[in-house]
Amino acid sequence: MIPFNIIVATHNSGETLARCLESVRQVSGRARGRLILIDGASTDDTLEIAEAFADIVDVVVSEPDSGVYDAWNKGLSHCVHPWVLFLGSDDYLRPAEFLRYLGFMENKQGLDFVSCRVRLVDSRDRLIREVGRPWEWRVFKRYMCTLHPGSFTSLEYISRVGMFDESLSICGDYELLLRGGERLKTAFWPVAPVCMRVGGVSDGMRGLEETLAMKLAAGHRHSALCFTDHAIAVIKYMIRTYLMRSR
């Protein structure tokens, strides 16, 4: 199977990290992955948990950082394989599906980005919904229709367009892919090999507001359409929040 890197950014992630790392351990016997953990100087038991997974964690860096994109950029400097996958410390793999996904990744040289569907789950690991669709420029310049958890980004693409913009706090993964524009070379696997907990930093109004500002600055879409996209996203977010609270 293809060799790849996994970068996990942590900060006081003691409640969820073991689940994340255990899911990686379950595929480590058949997958050639390099696991890089970048910690933002946690004060809980995050590093002790990482130590317990020393058999699969190849790199641990713990020092203050300015946010997730600073952490991811630090992790990129430790990558040795052509592809990198970013996992949140509260995300976790579905081992059987992930191994099949790696089979799909064979012979995907020359691409910039390979994405999949993602299972969104609540704090009790109950399925909320599956999201993710094939990358398509006319849709992607409106909103991020792919998710970084579970997606493979080519290190060649990152070396070509640059690393993450650390001035952004929430939508730097979207901005990174927007740099490729309509020429971004992608593939899509229509199964969900990763679970992502809702309620993270990107799942809220701050994320929507930063996305609007970033889209206006990028200039790929008329400003009036950017504001329309934002209004629609806010309405959808409010509906999702209401439905979640009524569960």
Say how far apart CA 43 and CA 11 lie, in whole Å.
8
State CA 246 to chain mean position distance.
28
Q: Provide the whole-model pTM.
A: 0.87
Q: Tell me how many domains the chain contains.
A: 1
Write down how long the chain is. Answer: 247
Q: What is the pLDDT of residue 68?
A: 94
The DSSP-derived string for 134-173 is ---HHHHTTS--S-SBT-EEEHHHHHHH-S--TT-SS-HH
State CA 23 to chain mean position distance.
16
The pLDDT of 176-182, averaged and rounded, is: 94
Say how far apart CA 36 and CA 56 lie, in whole Å.
9
| 35-77-18 Cα angle (round to 5) | 25
The pLDDT of 39-56, averaged and rounded, is: 97
Tell me the per-residue pLDDT of 73-96, one tens digit each, with 9 for 90 and over: 999 999 999 999 999 999 999 999
Q: What is the pLDDT of residue 81?
A: 96
Tell me the per-residue pLDDT of 212-236, one tens digit each, with 9 for 90 and over: 777 777 778 888 887 887 788 778 7
Q: What is the pLDDT of residue 53?
A: 98
Q: What is the pLDDT of residue 57?
A: 97
Which amino acid, one-letter code, is at 82? Answer: P
Structural domain range at position 109: 3-245
- CB contact set of 61 (below 8 Å; sequence gap of 6+): 36, 37, 38, 39, 74, 75, 78
Which amino acid, one-letter code, is at 139? Answer: V
Name the more confident of 233 and 98.
Answer: 98
Which amino acid, one-letter code, is at 29? Answer: G
Q: What is the pLDDT of residue 138?
A: 92
194: domain CATH number? 3.90.550.10
